[in-house]
Chain A
Amino acid sequence: MTHSHDAMTEELYRETILDHNANPRNNGPLDDASFSEASLNPSCGDRFTLHVKLSEDGSSVEAVRFEGIGCAISTASMSLFSEKLTGMSVEEVRQLDKQFVYDLLGVPISAAREKCALVSLKTAQTGLRLFEGRDA
């Protein structure tokens, strides 16, 4: 173990993440959601539910809300991601990769926090896949 982490620490919990953790955006229930998906991150006890409302033709995301509690990284991930998700086409959501979320968070993510960071993406894509499977 080295002593070189302090600068990173400040970076890691820099203002954006602390702000989104303390005041998560799009937080709360969504009455007319097209689908709701619960997160699965059993190691740390984080529990989120992501609500997504699609446009009438099902091609794009009209509204996103989320509920639940988690660590600062996962809460900020849900909050930041929910902002970006709104207005996106379903096809775009399908194509999103890890890097998209890492860029949103903007800080180095250690292997131990990968699940926390990616909870938003994983929940959204799983929810979408299950929703479309149900539809087919």
Chain B
Amino acid sequence: MAISLEQIRADFPILQNGAVYLDSGATSLTPTPVVEAVTKYYTDYNANIHRGLYDWSVEATEGYEGAHKTLAAFVNAEHVEEMIFTAGTTSALNVIASMTTANMQPGEEIVTTLLEHHSNFVPWQKAAEAKGLVFKTINVQEDGCLDLEDAKQKITSKTRVVAFTAVSNALGVLTPIKELCALAHENGAIAVVDGAQHIPHFKVDVQDMGCDFYAFSGHKMYGPTGTGGFYARREHLLNMEPVVFGGDMISEVTIQASTWNELPWKFEAGTPHIAGGIGLGVAADYMTSVGLETIEQHEQDMTAYALEVFGTLDGVEVYGPTDPLKRIGVVSFGIGGMHPHDVAELLNRKHIAVRAGHHCAMPLMDHLAIPGTTRASFGIYTSKDDIDALAEAVEYTKSIFTV
């Protein structure tokens, strides 16, 4: 790394308390510049945005709108107004599902995958149920990678939406984003990408991917919780009706009818998380300052190292592909005869924070025929020492259960 790991870790004072944090896939830690930016809003210019004719409100508006510009550039959107802020990926995907299925007809198809987090699965399943749509899921291969041949079968001329994750939260598996977007478009469907586990690790280029929508969370990319949003191609935003109504999203309201504000505000009703949105912009800048290639390389290195170390542990099964280039940021594993909950609790006794359970991906767990996994996930501050500590603690949990 051009910038040293020590320098990065110094930006995350919480790491000094001695915990080994391996749960960045659930939420990343927050660097000092982001914490300071959020605090500064409350201490220096705590005002609502838009239409305030005084300095604080102007500063808040500029900060919040500036964060939209930062994020639009961060994902390489063609236009600034293609960036909508929401409370995170879940709210983004719910809104996208409501809007894109609004005019769909019974018998038309939604295609998603077995790798999805529930938040990119249930909203589509419910929309299909409500509107008489056909809900299909693309299978995975034995190693957890998406079955592209199956995708070619499932996506048809009746398909209107293909919704898929760019990186599996449960296994860290990468999906073929460009191929899936192209398949969707060849069949006249739109492509919705869940970028929650993708944006923390890669330089995102929505134009290069060719997606129509890209949803993400701020709190997985070193920003505050309750932030995030989605990119959408402008033509969709112009043509779609909003599904959340209220203040700031309207142009004019009469007893007879209402008209909508210009993009992107048409899709941001109510007072938003202003401090959080500003903090999200700072988080994106922070990642840019570290270097997105540097981040990707580091996370790839940590993933490869973890796979290597786990390969030497007896009685431990790592789920997902063995090729580190087919995955990123996550090592999900099982220890023979031990429930993931017990593993995680024992790891916690050694001050190691991991996640255990179905990871909000119950269809995938059913497919793998396991109740859940123990998942270690990595961020820009993760070190080889962290992974060594995990491996040592795994041996300890085995000794308790005498595996």
Of B345, B351, B365, B372, which is in contact with the most chain A CB atoms at under 10 Å from its CB? B345
Partner-binding segment picked from A30-38, A39-47, A54-62, A85-93? A39-47
| A13:B401 contact, CB within 8 angstroms | yes
A12 vs B349: C-alpha distance when bound (angstroms): 11
Q: Which residues of B contact A72 (CB under 8 A)?
A: 338-339, 341-342, 401
Q: In the complex where A1-B17, A13-B400, A44-B357 touch, is A113 in contact with B345 (Cβ < 8 A)?
A: yes
A6-B349 contact in complex given A45-B358, A72-B339, C-beta closer than 8 Å: yes
**Residue of B with least CB distance to A70:** B339
Interface of chain A residues 52 through 83 with chain B (CB within 8 A): 69-75
A68 to chain B: closest residue by CB: B371
| B318: min CB distance to chain A, Å | 18
Residue with the greatest number of chain A CB neighbours at <10 A, chosen from B18, B19, B357, B365:
B357
Q: Give 1 or 0 for each of A1-39: 1 = CB within 8 Å of chain B CB.
A: 101011011101100001000000000000000000000
CB of B346 closer than 8 Å to a CB of A: yes
Q: Which of A1, A3, A47, A110 has the most CB of B within 10 A?
A: A1
- Taking a contact as CB atoms under 8 Å apart, the answer to whether B19 and A45 are in contact is no
**Bound form: Cα–Cα A12–B400 in Å:** 10
| Cβ–Cβ contact A9 & B346, under 8 A | yes
Nearest CB on A from B373, distance (A): 9
Contact digits for B358-383, partner A, Cβ 8 Å, 1 yes 0 no: 10001001000001100000000000
In-complex Cβ contact of B357 among A13, A43, A73 (8 A): A43
- Docked-complex contact B351 and A71, CB < 8 angstroms: no
In whole angstroms, how far apart are the Cα atoms of A112 and B349 in the complex? 13
A12 to B346, CA, bound (A): 10
A50 is an interface residue with CB less than 8 A from chain B: no
Query: Judging by beta carbons under 8 Å apart, are B356 and A44 in contact?
Result: yes
Q: Which residues of the partner chain B approach A46 to less than 8 Å between Cβ atoms?
A: 339, 341, 371
A101 within 8 A of B: no
A110 to B357, CA, bound (A): 17
In the assembly, what is the distance between CA of A10 and CA of B346, in Å? 10
With A1-B19, A71-B341, A73-B342 already in contact, the answer to whether A47 and B357 are too (CB < 8 A) is no
Question: Nearest chain B CB to A118's CB is how many angstroms away?
Answer: 14
Give the CA-CA distance A6 to B358 in the complex, in Å: 27
User: Which A residues are in CB contact (< 8 Å) with B349?
Assistant: 5-6, 8-9
Q: Is A121 an interface residue (CB 8 A)?
A: no
> What separation, in Å, do the CA atoms of A1 and B351 have in the docked complex?
7
Interface string of A101-136 (1 = CB under 8 A from B): 000000000101100100000000000000000000
B340 adjacent to chain A (CB < 8 Å): yes
Q: How large is the interface on A (under 10, 10 to 19, 20 to 34, 35 or more residues)?
A: 20 to 34
Kindly report which residue of chain B lies nearest to residue A2, judged by CB atoms. B351
A70-B371 in contact given A1-B19, A44-B341 (Cβ < 8 Å): yes
Name the B residues within 8 Å of A75 (CB-CB). 339
In the complex formed, the residue of A with least CB distance to B351 is A1
> A54 vs B104: C-alpha distance in the bound complex, in angstroms?
51
Q: Is B400 touching A44 in the complex (CB atoms < 8 A)?
A: no
Complex CA–CA separation, A116 to B340 (angstroms): 12
When the two chains form their complex, are residues A69 and B371 in contact, meaning their CB atoms are under 8 A apart?
yes
> What's the Cα separation between A69 and B371 when bound, in Å?
8
Which residues of the partner chain A approach B372 to less than 8 Å between Cβ atoms?
A: 44-45
Given the known A-B contacts A18-B401, A43-B357, A44-B340, are A1 and B18 also in contact in the complex, defined by CB atoms under 8 Å? yes
Which residues from chain B contact A73 at a C-beta distance below 8 Å?
341-342
* Known A-B contacts A1-B351, A13-B401, A70-B339; A45 and B362 likewise in contact (beta carbons under 8 Å): yes
Closest to A46 in B: B371
**B340 lies within 8 A of A112 (CB):** no
- Tell me, in angstroms, the Cα distance from A70 to B370 when the chains sit together: 11
Pull 18 A–B residue pairs with CB atoms less than 8 Å apart, ordered by A.
A1-B351, A5-B349, A9-B349, A10-B400, A12-B345, A13-B401, A18-B401, A43-B357, A44-B356, A45-B358, A46-B339, A46-B371, A47-B371, A69-B371, A70-B341, A71-B341, A71-B342, A72-B339
Report the 7 A-B pairs with minimum CB-CB distance, sorted nearest first. Answer: A71-B339, A71-B341, A45-B372, A45-B371, A45-B358, A44-B357, A5-B349
Q: Which of A's residues lie within 8 Å of B, judged by CB?
A: 1, 3, 5-6, 8-10, 12-13, 18, 43-47, 69-75, 110, 112-113, 116
